[in-house]
A and B are shown apart, each in its own frame.
Chain A
């Protein structure tokens, strides 16, 4: 199996989609001759022509609104938002139209389009370049929300997203762009769209993660193994649709659960997961479901991001609090009493 980076896998997915379906178009800011600021669209204009991959004027609402009209007109636009925080001007188009058109037309119009967003931190980016914006999209009915953690998933999930009859917000963890791994891009081994996978089986507790947090969770599981704890790691892959079945089955097996996300914790995707696990697995749980998340602050500057991002230690600390010794975790209580 070849070893590729996530960036290469995404580029190959776009190429193969452009080759296989003439309705597919790629457009956005600097995606043409430059190949995008992260080079994900590298060479596409050269190889497929300006008609298939092109630079647009600089306006995100314009890009998404144009894509809506083109998708209504029979094309399958794959648009790039340059960075997470620069997708916000398009939010009205996304929330009011991209997400709702099928419903507003009683299913008569579909919007097969993909909005690719390089997202999240860990690359030493300056302000407005590191937001974890998944909760905004996941909270919007009508959108599918995807975030890959491996090059192989990046390829197949992007192919799936482009082929999907519904609009997909495709969140690409920037810090994983250059991470390499063996990947089967020729023949599919990846799990189906909408299914989570167990990245590492374990007996003692489940770590639920997605996108940029998956490698961190795996690292934490390796470290815990040295201490004799056997952690299972579930990678969601698609936040919407959410795979309750795989997550709940894992937690019922292990009886303990920590949800890991890079985004600020309050009202985040992790809160939703914790609630769902509790609702479904209450009688299997030996401890409360814990969350490990970013702090509830605007994304911090490069010198401070290491204290903000949930790392191995913070995950292991949470695992420690899963009451393996049968003593309740009273940290919140004692703080209230002080």
Chain B
């Protein structure tokens, strides 16, 4: 019996040694990488608009946090190419499994920004309707959502729907057991799922070098038989192209695909974090030079796909979006306190009904 591994089979699983890139930091097109196509012009223009709006949403959310309107906000400033590219690679019938950091992605998916911020505002539920939007609740227990995406993909496959599930996960999350179990299960089941790692170089304070000794996180695919690619995560054209191919791979029945995007978290982990304790300003300044929004703008202008008017209109759209968000978030809401008992089970248990009555009596006593 032969147990020899085919070198060709291994090669087919490996990512390119250098991240795929179409546009360099200055916004200039580089020699197009083999095997990947430039996304359609209209999609690139749409991506630009969402990146501008997304960034404005992000800075607005950070401001609202400082004003005490949000309990906490994990910013994705600097990661807009991933946030928007990930979502635009999906169709409406596909499912998205985001993390706490991916609010901009949800906005780009078309969700109501106030609903998106419900949890971060300090409420007990995710705000939006996951069934209607095909977006799972933003997930905080790291990498657990990667298994859910795999299960959903398997469900879609079994139902004969040609939908795909995409799981977002961070560089730190790839160290969690669930990430590995998900890759393994997905490969064995041939589930149509795309694993999208946003490697923003830090897990709170812990730098990548202390997180993993892999040549790149994309190499985590080969051991499970999952093909993988790495991409410049601040190059929207590359992110969209590579994720588009990954989604197509999954949709066409060829099983899961892993994509690692190299990007950078410009802000601290959350507003509560002090990034000065673990990284220096030089590093942040260097990455500011690789800004994904400006890069796409320069590139699209160079190709004649973006005019001054377009840029101004995207900016205005962002301002309108932020103003609307501000107004709605500054309105005080009255949460229905008694509802906290209603969705623990389909029908509250007798004990929960008793506790509901107890709280109702306490509240009534406070009022009178």
A binds B: yes
Do residues B342 and A107 form an inter-chain contact, with CB atoms below 8 A? yes
Is A180 positioned at the interface, with any CB of B under 8 Å from its CB? no
Which A residues, 54 to 77, have Cβ-Cβ distances below 8 Å to chain B?
56-57, 59, 61-62, 65-75
Among A61, A68, A105, A241, contact of B177 (Cβ-Cβ < 8 Å): A61
**Cβ contacts under 8 Å, A142 to chain B:** 344-345
Is B198 positioned at the interface, with any CB of A under 8 Å from its CB? no
Interface-facing stretch out of A89-97, A153-161, A170-178: A89-97
Do residues B182 and A72 form an inter-chain contact, with CB atoms below 8 A? no
A56, A67, A108 interface centre (most CB from chain B within 10 Å): A108
Do residues B153 and A69 form an inter-chain contact, with CB atoms below 8 A? yes
Q: How far is the CB of B357 from chain A (nearest CB, A)?
A: 14
Do residues B152 and A57 form an inter-chain contact, with CB atoms below 8 A? no
Among A68, A101, A165, contact of B346 (Cβ-Cβ < 8 Å): A165
Q: How far is the CB of B133 from chain A (nearest CB, A)?
A: 10
**Cβ contacts under 8 Å, B156 to chain A:** 73
**Cβ contacts under 8 Å, B155 to chain A:** 69-70, 72-75
Interface-facing stretch out of B7-15, B61-69, B140-148, B266-274: B140-148
Q: How far is the CB of B239 from chain A (nearest CB, A)?
A: 25
**Cβ contacts under 8 Å, A106 to chain B:** 125-126, 339, 343
**Scoring B residues 334 to 368 as 1 if CB is less than 8 Å from chain A, else 0, what string do you get?**
00000100111110011100000000000000000
Q: How far is the CB of B240 from chain A (nearest CB, A)?
A: 25
**Cβ contacts under 8 Å, B159 to chain A:** 73-74
Given contacts A57-B188, A102-B344, contact A242 B181 (CB under 8 A): no
A75, A105, A244 interface centre (most CB from chain B within 10 Å): A105
Is B286 positioned at the interface, with any CB of A under 8 Å from its CB? no
Do residues A73 and B152 form an inter-chain contact, with CB atoms below 8 A? yes
Q: How far is the CB of A303 from chain B (nearest CB, A)?
A: 35
Q: How far is the CB of B271 from chain A (nearest CB, A)?
A: 23
Among A59, A70, A102, A144, contact of B152 (Cβ-Cβ < 8 Å): A70
Do residues B148 and A65 form an inter-chain contact, with CB atoms below 8 A? yes
A62, A70, A144 interface centre (most CB from chain B within 10 Å): A62
A59, A101, A106, A108 interface centre (most CB from chain B within 10 Å): A106
Do residues A97 and B184 form an inter-chain contact, with CB atoms below 8 A? no
Do residues B148 and A102 form an inter-chain contact, with CB atoms below 8 A? no
Do residues B129 and A241 form an inter-chain contact, with CB atoms below 8 A? no
In the assembled complex, the Cα of A56 lies from the Cα of B181 at a distance in Å of 11
Among A73, A75, A96, A144, contact of B141 (Cβ-Cβ < 8 Å): A96
In the assembled complex, the Cα of A96 lies from the Cα of B144 at a distance in Å of 9
Is B24 positioned at the interface, with any CB of A under 8 Å from its CB? no
Do residues A244 and B343 form an inter-chain contact, with CB atoms below 8 A? no
| Chain B contact residue count (CB 8 A cutoff) | 41
Q: How far is the CB of B9 from chain A (nearest CB, A)?
A: 19
**Cβ contacts under 8 Å, B126 to chain A:** 104-106
| Chain A contact residue count (CB 8 A cutoff) | 44
Do residues A107 and B147 form an inter-chain contact, with CB atoms below 8 A? no
Among B137, B141, B182, contact of A62 (Cβ-Cβ < 8 Å): B182
Do residues A73 and B151 form an inter-chain contact, with CB atoms below 8 A? yes
Q: Which residue of A lies closest to B343 (CB)?
A: A107
Which A residues, 12 to 60, have Cβ-Cβ distances below 8 Å to chain B?
51, 56-57, 59
Is A126 positioned at the interface, with any CB of B under 8 Å from its CB? no
In the assembled complex, the Cα of A164 lies from the Cα of B349 at a distance in Å of 14
Do residues B152 and A69 form an inter-chain contact, with CB atoms below 8 A? yes
Do residues B343 and A56 form an inter-chain contact, with CB atoms below 8 A? no
Given contacts A73-B155, A110-B346, contact A68 B141 (CB under 8 A): no
Q: Which residue of A lies closest to B165 (CB)?
A: A69
Do residues A57 and B185 form an inter-chain contact, with CB atoms below 8 A? yes
Q: How far is the CB of A121 from chain B (nearest CB, A)?
A: 28
Is B331 positioned at the interface, with any CB of A under 8 Å from its CB? no
Q: Other than the known A70-B151, A108-B130, A241-B351, what 20 A-B pairs have Cβ atoms closer than 8 Å?
A: A59-B185, A61-B147, A66-B151, A66-B154, A69-B153, A70-B152, A72-B130, A74-B155, A75-B155, A92-B144, A97-B148, A101-B137, A103-B343, A104-B124, A104-B126, A105-B130, A108-B132, A164-B346, A166-B345, A244-B351
Question: Which residue numbers of A lie inside 8 Å of B, CB to CB?
Answer: 51, 56-57, 59, 61-62, 65-75, 89, 92-93, 96-97, 101-110, 141-142, 144, 164-166, 194, 240-242, 244-245
Interchain Cβ contacts under 8 Å between A and B, 23 examples: A56-B188, A57-B181, A57-B184, A62-B147, A65-B146, A66-B147, A68-B148, A68-B151, A69-B155, A72-B130, A72-B136, A73-B159, A75-B158, A93-B144, A93-B178, A97-B141, A104-B126, A105-B129, A106-B125, A142-B345, A144-B345, A241-B349, A242-B349
